Structure 1
Amino acid sequence: MKILVTGSTGTIGGLVVRGLAAQGAQVHALTRDPDKAVFPAGVTAVKGDMTDVPSMRAALKEVDALFLLNAVVADEVTQAIGTLSLAREAGIQRIVYLSVLNSDAYTDVPHFTGKYTVERMIEQFDLPATVLRPSYFMQNDAMLRDGLLKHGRYGMPIGDVGVAMADVRDIAEIAVASLLRRARAQAPLPREVIEITGPDVLTGKDLAAIWSDVLGRPITDGGTDLDAYEAFMAGVMPSWAAHDLRLVLGRFHADGMLGKPGAADVLTGLLGHAPRSYRDFATELAKTWQPA
């Protein structure tokens, strides 16, 4: 069974490629530039771009399963819907799609609504797929290094309701298991939705306290000023992306990003271990920041 992985050079996609390869799967890794991509032995680099239909038709040819991950970009919906349409055309009956937690609820957030549109297509056409809905990634906080170390501030304005962040390694493990389960099944499996969260619901103050313990110095939280945060982020990313992020944080302030009751137990069963905690992630990350 050949499995095509999109987003193969990104954080989660790269982990999925390595996880599948370690399990002996036949992996085709989609990349715009196969000559520059580095994959494990046995993985086939496939040239393709989700905005280029001929290249995607070629990449999906003779593929049995698809891991569909596309980045938060301005044409995200076009990429995802187009790729799913071509997968249907190719007769692929084993799909895992990476969506986002609360995709159905955060209707004012463009990339959440975009991912839910893809979910609606999967449902409408009854595609045999696993939809993964992960929470906010713990690893996103690696970009807060300078604020934490130089200014003693946890810079993400998470708010006071709480977010159950997920570790990308847990997300990738569940993606690999879902892909292999579908690839190895004798017949296409029914549609399913899996929510992926961390074991703890953490507010901005909770996160600042964790970092204070980990770094051994006082850390303040990110506050709640979303106007200032959007203005700052617009200086380091496209303005549409900064506004999208601001809208996500606004929903965190209003509703949080919480798993269903018993989610940790469900994920423990899927993973074979407890979901990784934010404190463990922070401790691990801080060690990489120590001078040699």
Structure 2
Amino acid sequence: MNSETQRKIAWITGASSGLGRELALLMVQEGWNVAISARRAEELAAVAAEARGYLGRILPVPLDTTDAASVKAGVERIEKEFGPIDLAVFNAGTHHPMLAEEITAEAAGTLIDVNLKGTANCLAAVLPFFLERKAGHLAFVASMSSYRGLPTAAIYGATKAGIVNMAEALQPDLKRSGIKVQVVNPGFVKTPLTDKNEFPMPFLMEADEAARAFYKGLQSEKFEIMFPKIFGRIMKVLRLLPASLALKLTARAIPKEKPGAAQTLRPPKAKALRKRA
């Protein structure tokens, strides 16, 4: 990628912080031009400012992935101002650990809207361009929580399992059109989202380390990008165990001290859930 016209173009959602931010900065260092999206325009501008002087360029494109019209307008802007998108990374998402008694329709709806519906909105916006060109690369960011149901992640894990299913269903279909599909299953990565977790997080990775593993995986032909690998292998063994045994093991992850009555009856605020990348 020696000239501006030869630079590949990526679009990364959820890029104002955490893993998306680190991946965007790494890719511009590697010579990509990267359009970054999130709801928070000021944070996107800060990421773009940090990338000044790198080989590639960053174009901040603020949008709300839960708003299909906003996403469509954002993708059209990228195609017009930056050029044809080569790679779309659907990374935007949110998480709020919840015990059974903390689940509300509002909290569940927010997780489903952001993680699952938001991903579908992004797919619907960029796919027509890829199909017209018979080329493109889609990376769906899911989670190792998609492997097996885990305590406090009933809704979150379901949305991530849905994303994996979406990618699996699309891969054989889109391969015929020359479009590469990958699913990304990270373990625990230190981000503002995982900072909310009050339980031990085995094999916790720093965001920049995770971004390097992510980028390496994008350059491979593997359908699944998984990191850290040792934790992924453990989780896959858990997935293969009989349900009776797996449920006994996952029960150990339930917090020993459940929230007090006052906390139990207080549902998570939707406003707090929406504080995402």
Return the TM-score normalized by structure 2: 0.60
Cα separation, 1, equivalents of 2:212 and 2:265? 33
User: Where in structure 2 are there 5+ consecutive unaligned residues?
Assistant: 1-7, 95-109, 175-179, 233-252
Mapped pair 1:29 → 2:36: yes
Cα separation, 1, equivalents of 2:161 and 2:144? 10
Give the 3 Å change call, closer, same or farther, for CA 227–125 of structure 1 in structure 2.
Answer: same
| Match for residue 198 of structure 2 among 156, 163, 177 | 156
Who is 2:246 aligned against?
A: none
Following superposition of structure 1 onto structure 2, how do residues 32-111 of structure 1 map, counting pairs within 5 Å?
A: 32-34=39-41, 37-38=45-46, 39=48, 40-41=51-52, 42-60=57-75, 61=79, 62-72=84-94, 73-74=110-111, 75=113, 76-91=115-130, 93-106=136-149, 109-111=154-156
Conservation of the 8 A alpha-carbon contact between 2:62 and 2:74: yes
SS at match of 1:165: coil
Higher percent of residues as helix: 2
Cα separation, 2, equivalents of 1:4 and 1:21? 12
SS at match of 1:90: helix
Give the 3 Å change call, closer, same or farther, for CA 143–5 of structure 1 in structure 2.
Answer: closer
Who is 2:97 aligned against?
A: none
Shift of 1:226: 4.5
Give the 3 Å change call, closer, same or farther, for CA 234–13 of structure 1 in structure 2.
Answer: farther
Amino acid at match of 2:36: A
Following superposition of structure 1 onto structure 2, how do residues 177-188 of structure 1 map, counting pairs within 5 Å?
A: 177-179=216-218, 181=219
The total of aligned residue pairs comes to 201
Cα separation, 2, equivalents of 1:129 and 1:95? 5
Conservation of the 8 A alpha-carbon contact between 1:50 and 1:83: yes
Shift of 1:130: 2.3
Amino acid at match of 1:102: S
Amino acid at match of 2:259: A
| Match for residue 192 of structure 1 among 223, 226, 229 | 223
Amino acid at match of 1:195: M
Give the 3 Å change call, closer, same or farther, for CA 4–231 of structure 1 in structure 2.
Answer: farther
Shift of 1:123: 1.1
Percent identity for Structure 1 against Structure 2: 14
Return the TM-score normalized by structure 1: 0.57
Cα separation, 2, equivalents of 1:97 and 1:196? 14
Shift of 1:88: 2.0
Amino acid at match of 1:28: A
Give the 3 Å change call, closer, same or farther, for CA 236–226 of structure 1 in structure 2.
Answer: same
Amino acid at match of 1:58: A
Who is 2:187 aligned against?
A: 135
Who is 2:215 aligned against?
A: 176
Conservation of the 8 A alpha-carbon contact between 2:65 and 2:121: yes
Please, what is the CA RMSD of the aligned residues?
3.7
